[in-house]
């Protein structure tokens, strides 16, 4: 019997175990798409003008929001502030003041998204929006930062100039 045989066998098993554990670790690294697909609730929504000064994102109080990103590239976003009930029981019969409150207190859009894993960004193509100027037919880039169950979007292409930072928390 070769006295080095157990040592070689141990070394071989050790190398094999190391290779397998490394491949398992690599298999556990998720793509950006795998990490973002799902439903998210709004944590914060901040807008900044071109000079970097914070400006209102919306009017109203107690913003609530929902972001849904599907595995096949669909997106839906609703951010809505809290405002008083309409005087009329018919939503098509509103006062100018009520119309302004709703128009300034709701941002809702849907469309498609694609992912760029290399620069960790999303491109939104908005199909319809409560703010029609978002509907351009062109991709709108959002840089993405993930930290646990929180996701941050940086939109340096704010329609009015400047940027927008939105933080979302994964729904459980």
Give per-residue pLDDT as tens, 25-67: 444 678 889 999 999 999 999 999 999 999 999 998 999 999 9
d(CA 127, CA 21) in angstroms, rounded, equals: 45
Report whether pLDDT(7) > 70.
no
Whole-model pTM: value is: 0.79
Rg of the chain on CA atoms, in Å: 24
Q: Which two tokens stand for residue 41?
A: 């609730």
**Distance (Å, rounded) from C-alpha 141 to C-alpha 102?**
27
Residue closest to 80 by CA, chosen among 48, 58, 56: 58
Q: Residue 12: pLDDT above 50?
A: no
Report whether pLDDT(1) > 70: no
Q: What is the mean pLDDT of the chain?
A: 86
In this prediction, residue 13 has a pLDDT band, given cuts at 50, 70 and 90, of very low
């Amino acid at each position: 019997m070769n006295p080095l045989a157990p040592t070689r066998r141990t070394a071989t098993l050790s190398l094999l175990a190391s290779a397998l554990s490394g491949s398992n670790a690599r298999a556990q690294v998720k793509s950006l798409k795998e990490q973002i697909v799902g439903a998210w609730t709004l944590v914060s929504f901040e807008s900044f003008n071109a000079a970097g000064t914070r400006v209102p994102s919306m009017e109203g109080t107690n913003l609530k929001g929902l972001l849904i990103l599907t595995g096949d590239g669909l997106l839906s976003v609703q951010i809505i502030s809290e405002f008083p009930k309409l005087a009329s029981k018919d939503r098509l019969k509103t006062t100018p003041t009520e119309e302004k409150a709703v128009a300034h207190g709701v941002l809702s859009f849907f469309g498609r998204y694609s992912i760029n894993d290399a620069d960790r960004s999303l491109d939104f193509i908005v199909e319809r929006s409560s703010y029609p100027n978002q509907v351009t037919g062109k991709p709108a880039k959002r840089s993405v930062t993930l930290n646990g169950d929180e996701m941050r979007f940086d939109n340096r292409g704010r329609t009015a100039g400047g940027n927008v930072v939105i933080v979302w928390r994964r729904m459980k």
